[in-house]
Amino acid sequence: MSSDQVISCDHVGKAFQLYLRRNDQIMQTLFGHWKQYYHEHWVLKDISFKVARGESFGIIGRNGAGKTTLLQILCGITTPTHGTATVQGRIAPILALGTGFDHELTGRENALIGSAILGMKRAEALARMDTIAAFADIGEFFNQPLKMYSSGMVARLAFAVCAHADADILIVDEALSVGDAAFGAKCDAFIRNFAKHGTILFVSHDLITVEALCDRVLWIDDGRVRGLGKPHEVVPHYRATLEGQSTPSVRPAEPTYLSA
């Protein structure tokens, strides 16, 4: 693992505007200079961490803790309300790419679009199209409109595109559970091989896999950093919280645990 930093979050916070009445958004547009017609809902609150090149970095937390919003910021889908988030290198957000597919276009056409989104040139994507199709392993559906696909087939296509993007950073989320066991094994093998030379951001509720795959783990609770350190240091505290137990009194020296 290199000491070079490829991901850095510095006091990142993200708030969404919530409107109680239908007309409030219009009123905010027209008169927002004088009066606020919404209330802020803070999904992320002062998140700071760094990921080194070649590191496998896990992110854990309950549903609604802010993990997805953090990924969206790192992928450039949304921007933080305050703080900064920087990423060095090409990102392949596994399966997040699939949400931008056009369901009227074929799998092949969507593979070209997805490749372009990930920074691949058209000629480069065309040269890899056969191997992308083979990896997705969806047969003749590769040349059919995406509206005919099951969710598992969309997942296969999205993963196949990301797997051939020559990315520096792989972002993997819980959506990898979509699909059959054979495809899951193929994904797992690819991720473990990628971990030998690339940087991985792994977001999952599968704590056993997190402990086996990750070098460090970030625990987010209610939008804040609750723990940051080695898996064997952080995961037991998280498990204890899930089980409704009090947090163990013995804590590691390096990570800092913040009260909820």
**Which tens digit of pLDDT belongs to each residue from 63-86?**
999 998 999 899 888 999 999 999
User: Do the domain assignments include residue 24?
Assistant: no
User: Do the domain assignments include residue 85?
Assistant: yes
Give the number of domains in the chain.
Answer: 1
User: Do the domain assignments include residue 145?
Assistant: yes
Q: Are 138 and 109 in contact (CB under 8 A)?
A: no
User: Do the domain assignments include residue 30?
Assistant: no
**Token digits for 84?**
């900064």
Q: Rounded distance, CA 165 to CA 93, Å? A: 10
Question: Which residues, other chains included, contact 49 with Cβ-Cβ below 8 Å and sequence gap of 6+?
Answer: 7, 8, 9, 218, 225, 228
Q: What is the pTM of this model?
A: 0.79
* AA letter at 44: L
Each residue's pLDDT, cut to its tens digit, for the chain (260 residues) gives 556 899 999 999 999 888 888 888 888 888 888 888 777 889 999 999 999 999 999 999 999 999 989 998 998 889 999 999 999 988 888 766 676 789 999 999 999 999 998 889 999 999 999 999 999 999 999 999 999 998 889 888 998 998 898 889 999 876 555 557 788 788 888 888 898 889 999 998 989 989 999 999 999 999 999 999 999 999 999 999 998 865 543 344 344 333 33
CATH (domain of 195): 3.40.50.300
Domain that holds residue 158: 5-9+50-242
